[in-house]
Amino acid sequence: MSAHAWRRALVTGGAGFVGSHLCARLVADGTDVVCLDNLATGSRANVAELEQRRGFRFVRADATDPAALRDLPGRFDLVLHFACPASPADYLRLPLETLDVGSTGTRNALERARADGARLLLASTSEVYGDPLEHPQHEGYWGNVNPIGPRSVYDESKRFAEALLTAHRQVHGTDAAIVRIFNTYGPRMRTGDGRAVPAFVSQALDGAPLTVAGDGGQTRSLCYVDDTVDGVLALAASGADGPVNIGGAEEITMLELARRIIELTGSSSRIRFVERPADDPARRRPDTRLARELLGWQQRIGWSEGLERTIGWFTHAVAA
């Protein structure tokens, strides 16, 4: 996908899973990058190679601290606001921090983008659709979210962030857009973060039982991280407001996913059914027509190839 010539980008949450892939792509495209991260769920190891490159700088700071963003020297023409705990295990452990980064953190990112006249992209999520009553989910669907359920700290934080961005655009004319990312997977996910792909892959590689929640009939649509990065940067370059869904078209049940991972790893692991978390969505699949029509984006890497790459990375990471 063609690269837009950004001069200098600020990536909040850049030491996390998706953020580190975004930083790497931007640096490869010749953009100077400042990665601001408090390492709440990310790791400096994710950007260790980038730190050797000219034009990349890591700043350990909290996006909820107004001065941290305001006082960064220089001018940015792109702000990617990706800071936020994203796995259920993380946001349940950090509920108030998750709400803070969606509210105050988003406000700070918007203020910095406005001050610099930069384009801002907010990483929103399929979780704004909650446990959806419409399938697949298109951008016009308002969602089915429990505002006081255990997942609400994440879902409502992102819904608030979307509302804040919309108001900022209306009041200040800030050039800001919303990307709603569906389940993304790939190298640099943490084995212990509780999300299905890293959990199943690490269990399979260890010969441990794969823990499938409920009867495993719930579905997700997986998107390999390189495709997600393409979609995010295509929306950034487009000038469109969004929200735009970016996600995989292939819906897969969690049981099928576990079986495929056992097959691909050649593991002798079995499957163990465990209790399903409260408010766990039953079905998830994005309607990505808008991304195709507006951005010319579509998923290129199917789950079979994506899983092989991910398993390769985990095998290497575990052995290292």
Is residue 231 within the footprint of ligand NAD (CB under 6 A)? no
Query: By CB under 6 A, which span of 7-15, 259-267, 275-283, 302-310 interacts with ligand NAD?
Result: 7-15
Site string for ligand NAD, 94-123 (x = CB under 6 A): -------x---x-----------------x
Q: How far is the CB of 270 from ligand NAD (least distance, A)?
A: 27
Is residue 62 within the footprint of ligand NAD (CB under 6 A)? yes
The token pair at 267 is: 């593991």
- Taking CB under 6 A as the criterion, the residue among 6, 9, 16, 295 binding ligand NAD is 16
Site for ligand NAD in 135-194 (CB under 6 A): 181, 183-184
- Taking CB under 6 A as the criterion, the residue among 33, 84, 153, 244 binding ligand NAD is 84
Cα distances (angstroms) measured from residue 101 to each of 109, 123, 218, 280: 10, 12, 29, 23
* Cα–Cα distance for residue pair 157/106, rounded to 1 Å: 10
Q: Active site includes 185? A: no
Query: By CB under 6 A, which span of 3-11, 56-64, 129-137, 291-299 interacts with ligand NAD?
Result: 56-64
Site for ligand NAD in 279-318 (CB under 6 A): none
Q: How far is the CB of 254 from ligand NAD (least distance, A)?
A: 15
Q: Which of 188, 259, 250 is CA-nearest to residue 14?
A: 188
| Cis peptide leading into residue 88 (ω within 30°) | no
* Cα–Cα distance for residue pair 105/10, rounded to 1 Å: 13
Burial class (CB in 10 A: 0-12, 13-18, 19+), 50: buried
The token pair at 262 is: 């056992």
- Return the half-sphere exposure (C-beta side, CA atoms, 13 A cut-off) of residue 209: 7
Q: How far is the CB of 41 from ligand NAD (least distance, A)?
A: 4
Instruction: Give how many residues touch ligand NAD by CB under 6 A.
Output: 29
Query: By CB under 6 A, which span of 61-69, 108-116, 230-238, 273-281 interacts with ligand NAD?
Result: 61-69
Is residue 34 within the footprint of ligand NAD (CB under 6 A)? no
Interface residue list for ligand NAD (CB under 6 A)? 12-13, 15-19, 37-42, 62-64, 82-86, 90, 101, 105, 123, 125, 181, 183-184
Active site residues: 154
